[in-house]
Structure 1
Amino acid sequence: MQTALDQEMAWRIKEIGVFKVGAGANGPQRKPLIRAGVALLYAHWEGFIKNSSEIYLSYVESRALPYRDLKSCFVVFGLKGKINKLVDSRKSLPNIEAVNFIFSKMDETAKLQIGSAVDTESNLTSKVFSNIAGSLDIDTSPYETKFHLIDTSLVEKRNKVAHGEFLDIKGSDFSSLVDDILGLMRLYKTDIENAASLENYKRAP
C-alpha cells in the first residue's frame, strides 16, 4: 500500500510543479498557464482523494477479515446493496430478509465494492470530501480550516475555468493555492497510512 500511495502522490506533484513554475514566469503565457493550472490542480485533488481512498479500501480487503471484525463504515462497503434495500423498503418482509442476510454474512470474509465505493460527484467540495473521509473513519477536523479555501479558491475557480469564464489570478496566489492543496493531499496520505498502520479499520474488541 505504501508504494502505491507514494507513486500516486509523486507523479501528481511533478505535474503540478510544471504549472507552478510556469505561473511564476513572466510573459504572455503566464495567465493561460495559471487558468489551466487551476483546472489541473483540481483534477489532481479529486483524483488523489479518490484513488488513495480506493487504495486504502483494497488494503483493508486484503486483510481478509470477516465483516464482524471491521468497523461498521467498512461493512457498509461490502453489504451496501442489502443496506440500501433495508433503507428504501417500507414493507416489513423485505426489511426482515435484509437484516437476516446482513447477520448471516458477519462471519464471511469481507468483500468490499471498491469500484463504486468512492464517489467524488465530479465536484470535490469540502462537503463531499468530508463524506468520503468519514466513510473511511478518517477525522476531518484537521482539514476544517481549509474548507473555505477548497470551496472558493479551488472548486469555484475550477468551475469557472471549466465553463469558459475569464479568470484572472496572480501567480503568487496560484502558488499559494498549490501549496495549500498539496498540503491537504499529503495530510490525507498520512492519515491513510496511519489508519492502516494502527489498524483503525478494525472494530474495537
Structure 2
Amino acid sequence: MTDPTAQKPHIAHTLLSRAHSPDTATQQFTERIKHKPLFLRPTSPSAEDNRERRRLHRLRKKEYFLRHQRPRPMTAREKRSTGIYDLPREECKHALFKGLHTLWVGYMQEILDLKTEGRSGLVTPLSHGAKLVSADFHGAELEVVRSRCAGRVGIKGIVVRDTKFTFDVVTEKDQLKSEFGVLGRVGAC
C-alpha cells in the first residue's frame, strides 16, 4: 500500500524532470519555483480601498482633462488689470511709427488695386467703400477734420491703435491722443 505521509512530487518538478536531467531539474525547480516569492493581491478589497481607487481614478481623469484643455480666454477685466493693451506714453514716438505708415500705404495700395498699371487712382465709396470699411487702419496718417470738441480739430498723426469706435494717434510732437470717434469725424491724409 502507499504511505499516506509520503508527499506527492510537485507538478512543476515532474514536468522539469521530463525535459531535463534529474540534477538540472532539481536545481531549476529550487531556484526558479520553490524559492521564488509569489506576490498576491487581495481578491476582495475593502470598501475604503474601493473609495480610494475611485478617488485616484477621478483625480487622474481630471488631470488628463485639464492637461488637454485649451486655455480659456482672458476676460475684459483681466485684460484691463494686466494692462495688455496699454501703450506706454514714453515709448510712443512718431519716428517709430513712420515705418508702420509706409507699410500701411503699401497695404492700402494693394487692397484698393492701385498698384496695377493702367488703373485710374479714383477711389469712390461705391467702388471701394466695403474695402475701406473692413480695412485695418494701424499705421494710417489721420487728421481730425470735424469734431464736437473744437480742440481736437486739426490734430494730425499716425494711428497706433484702431478699436471698434476709436483711434489712438501719435502726433508729430510725440503725444499720444486717444479716443477720436470714427463715425464720420476723421479724414485720412
Which one has a larger percent strand, Structure 1 or Structure 2?
2
Please tell me whether Structure 1 or Structure 2 has the larger radius of gyration of its CA atoms: 2
TM range (shorter): under 0.3
Which one has a larger percent helix, Structure 1 or Structure 2?
1
TM-score (norm 1): 0.23
TM-score (norm 2): 0.25
